[in-house]
Amino acid sequence: MQSKTRVVKLLQGNEACVEGAIAAGARFFAGYPITPSSEIAERLAERLPKLGGKFIQMEDEIGAMAAIIGASLAGLKSITATSGPGFSLKSENIGFACMTEIPCVVVNVMRGGPSTGLPTSPGQGDVMQARWGTHGDHPTIALAPASVGEVFDATVLCFNFAERYRTPVILLMDEIVGHMREKILIPDPSEIQIVNRKKPSVPPEKYLPYENDPSDIPAMANFGEGYRYHVTGLNHDERGYPTSEASVVAAQEARLIRKIERYKREIIRYEQIGLEDAEVSVFAFGSVARSAKLAISEAQKMGIKAGLFRPLTLWPFPEQEVAQLARRASRIVVAEMNLGQMVYEVERCAQGRAQIARVNRADGEPIAPEQILERIQEVAG
Amino acid sequence: MNIYLRYLRLPMMPNIWCSGCGNGIVLKALLRAIDGLQLAKDEVCMVSGIGCSSRLPGYVDFNTLHTTHGRALAFGTGVKLAKPEMTVIVISGDGDALAIGGNHFIHAARRNIDLTLILFNNLIYGMTGGQYSPTTPPGRYASTAPYGNIEAPFDICKLAEAAGASYVARGTAYQAAQLDKLIEGGILNRGFSLIEVLVQCPTIYGRRNRLGDAISMLKWQRDITMSRKAAEKLSPEELAGKVITGVLFAEERTEYCEEYEKLMARAQGIDDNRS
């Protein structure tokens, strides 16, 4: 087979996100300026009109989230990008997209917080907000890439997941991943797998936009395609009509959770290094995983059997994998640029089988390999 | 066939509106306007926020989107920009469009994006039980203004005009036939159109302010309003306390989606390798 052309570029994580979005078929962006995500808006403002795509800078983050949901319903793959404070503002409408099952991608380039915090510094303090930021029970898909190349692939995955599961998907970069520059090989479009929303196969009069489909993912008609239906953030029945009938509400809520839960084997992606015989395993994601890689290789040189578990998918949480991790290694070091968030998930899944140690930092400085190495040495005793 | 039956989603009936509410009168005028313009149902999108009037899209057989509180115009902006050929009508109330959604209101008007906003002004938050809104007149009572409202109300039409809307009109539930024309004019205008409609809320606003039943409130609408034509002949003193109805402002202005089309053509004409 003839080798495909791959374009070599030197890009920022934020720029790679734009290229990934375009490759995935994104043709609509609405956003509001915020550091450290603004490069995503700026590059899309330049790129989208050339491709016949739409770009709009909205009056606020809430409006931007609203606009991408509207555009997705009208048939365009849609994306918005923001950082902590803007992510907080978008939360209500992220819940609307969950409830109404409208595909879209929300990028959060994480900075220090809470509040205005450290606008130009890295953080990983929004990981629980990504999971539970909007009110009510809902599923979440969130990916946290660790390199510029992976940002491209993860952005494509986010769109594919959004389209396949009819749900908003969150891309969590930390500021380091968003702003660092690396060499990236952009694959030929023919090599990129693209997923598009399932369209109804029934005539309009038989279409149920929220059908209890055997797949748990109902087909989605775009507005203007002859399937006139109702979309509401109220609890609704299979027709999309508001209801407070307990059995209908229960069935729809259960399906909403199930449609992600049952497919989580397809959604959960991770990297494992040296875990086969590790006595100490490090759990780290995003830019922290880069420091962790160096730390475990230094530890190995010192004779400590250390390994790395790096989730790309933070939500749904890789429960099975972390449980297995706890069975294999008696000590787990959880390193994250916050004061302890994902560690609770690791503890939950480890069920007391492993000793859990933490490396935390939320002062705007990256976690250095030495900090992780130090903790590995301590727990390796 | 009764024209209303052609557009109503009968399984959604009965509606949630109280007896005597003015919303149904506006709904019928809206359907007559759409029917008169012979718009294809598939080409109409109706978007709303939260509140009594925002339930309207659920009752009609179009592409309908009932969104979050205050955000209907922002959702509508997304639909319209993604699919400019679609007629996008936004349904909102005074609290929804002017308090929580006030920012989207002025910016949608500023962009002059081709959305038609029908703003049901009942002077109160009805659905949540009668709290004062940005249009509640001073001195009126509300559940959160038990000693009388001390806030100044917005003049919605002036606000829209100042923000950049290209079509601004005001009507009342009392003058239902005129509403058809006002709404038609808004839909036909290529740009942001506002039609403010004064609707009676006898259950919440009327009862609390001793304005009588729905009929008394409709008569009250008749008494406080005056057509733009009639008003032109009067002095400011004579107009004190009057609410002017009709098309209050109309001006040709560049529409956002059309301007975006031009932007795309410009962007596509630029050679990437030039720099």
- Rounded average pLDDT over A32-45: 98
Provide the phi-psi class of A359: left if phi over 0, else alpha when psi is between -120 and 50, else beta: beta
Q: Which residues of B27-51 are buried (b: 16+ CB within 10 A; e: fewer)?
A: bbbbbbbbeeeeeeebebbbbbbbb
pLDDT tops 70 at residue A216: yes
Question: Could you give the residue ranges of the DSSP H alpha helices within B164-251?
Answer: 176-188, 207-208, 214-224, 228-232, 236-239
Of 1.10.10.10, 3.40.50.970, 3.40.309.10, 1.10.1660.10, the CATH number of B3-269 is: 3.40.50.970
Geometric angle at alpha carbon B224, from B218 and B229, rounded to 5°? 110
Please report the DSSP string for A101-139 in residue order.
T--EEEEEEEEE-STT-EEEEE--TTHHHHHHSSSSS--
pLDDT tops 50 at residue A1: no
What's the pLDDT score for residue B202?
A: 98
Q: Which residues of B251-262 are buried (b: 16+ CB within 10 A; e: fewer)?
A: eeeebbbeebee
End-to-end C-alpha distance for chain B, whole angstroms: 63
Q: Calculate helix-pair angle for A38-47, A13-24, nearest 10 degrees.
A: 40
Cβ separation B64–A229 shorter than 8 A: yes
Task: Count Cβ atoms within 10 A of the Cβ of residue B135 and give its class: 0-12 exposed, 13-18 middle, 19 or more buried.
Answer: buried
pLDDT tops 60 at residue A165: yes
Please check whether residue B129 is in contact with residue B85, taking contact to mean a CB–CB distance below 8 angstroms. no
* Confidence band, pLDDT 50/70/90 cuts, at residue A381: confident
Cβ separation A228–B64 shorter than 8 A: yes
Lowest mean pLDDT segment, chosen from A22-31, A70-79, A149-158, B230-239 = B230-239
Q: Other C-beta atoms within 10 Å of B247: how many?
A: 18
Sequence ranges of the domains in chain B: 3-269
* CB-side neighbour CA atoms (13 Å) of A19: 23
Q: Give the gap in angstroms from C-alpha A76 to the nearest C-alpha of chain B.
A: 7
What's the pLDDT score for residue B271?
A: 73
Residue B194: name the closest of B227, B169, B158, B162 by CA: B169
Reading across the β-sheet that carries A306-311, which strands appear in turn?
A270-273, A306-311, A280-283, A331-336, A355-360
Whether chain A has a CB inside 8 Å of the CB on B48: the answer is: no
Q: How far apart are CA B224 and CA B244, in angstroms?
A: 9
Whether chain B has a CB inside 8 Å of the CB on A204: the answer is: no
pLDDT tens-digit map of A246-304: 999 999 999 999 999 999 999 999 999 999 999 999 999 999 999 999 999 999 999 99
| Pick among B79, B85, B255 to test the A interface (most A CBs inside 10 A) | B79
Please report the DSSP string for A48-63 in residue order.
GGGGT-EEEE-SSHHH
Whether chain B has a CB inside 8 Å of the CB on A189: the answer is: no
Whether chain A has a CB inside 8 Å of the CB on B61: the answer is: yes
Residues sharing a CB contact under 8 Å with residue B155, sequence separation 6 or more, in sequence order: none
Q: How far apart are CA B57 and CA B37, in angstroms?
A: 18
What's the pLDDT score for residue A329?
A: 85
Flag residues of chain B having pLDDT under 70.
1, 272-275
Which A positions 265-294 lie with beta carbon below 8 A of chain B?
none
| Pick among B55, B60, B71, B257 to test the A interface (most A CBs inside 10 A) | B71
E-strand stretches of chain B: 44-48, 63-66, 87-93, 115-121, 124-125, 131-132, 167-172, 193-198, 225-227, 243-250
What's the pLDDT score for residue A6?
A: 85
pLDDT tens-digit map of A325-339: 999 988 999 999 999
* Confidence band, pLDDT 50/70/90 cuts, at residue A100: very high
Cβ separation A62–B260 shorter than 8 A: no
Please check whether residue B211 is in contact with residue B141, taking contact to mean a CB–CB distance below 8 angstroms. no
pLDDT tops 90 at residue A39: yes
Task: Count Cβ atoms within 10 A of the Cβ of residue B131 and give its class: 0-12 exposed, 13-18 middle, 19 or more buried.
Answer: middle
Please check whether residue A262 is in contact with residue A254, taking contact to mean a CB–CB distance below 8 angstroms. no
| Pick among A223, A235, A245 to test the B interface (most B CBs inside 10 A) | A223
By DSSP bridging, strand B167-172 and strand B243-250 are antiparallel
Q: How far apart are CA A212 and CA A215, in angstroms?
A: 8
Find chain A residues with C-beta within 8 A of B73's C-beta. Answer: 63
Beta carbon pairs, A and B, within 8 Å: 140
The verdict on ipTM greater than 0.95 is yes
* Confidence band, pLDDT 50/70/90 cuts, at residue A2: low
Structure tokens at A8: 């070599």
Structure tokens at A211: 């059908």
3-state secondary structure of A275: coil
* Confidence band, pLDDT 50/70/90 cuts, at residue A184: very high
Helix-, strand-, coil-residue percentages of chain A, each rounded to 5:
40, 25, 35
- Rounded average pLDDT over A344-352: 97
Q: How far is C-alpha A180 from the geometric centre of its chain's CA atoms?
A: 19
Cβ separation B58–A232 shorter than 8 A: yes
pTM: 0.97
Closest Cβ–Cβ partner in A30, A58, A223 for B45: A223
Whether chain B has a CB inside 8 Å of the CB on A176: the answer is: no
DSSP state of B56: G
Whether chain B has a CB inside 8 Å of the CB on A224: the answer is: yes
Q: How far apart are CA A20 and CA A14, in angstroms?
A: 10
Q: In chain A, what are the domains?
A: 7-191 (3.40.50.970), 271-380 (3.40.50.920)
Please check whether residue A76 is in contact with residue A54, taking contact to mean a CB–CB distance below 8 angstroms. yes
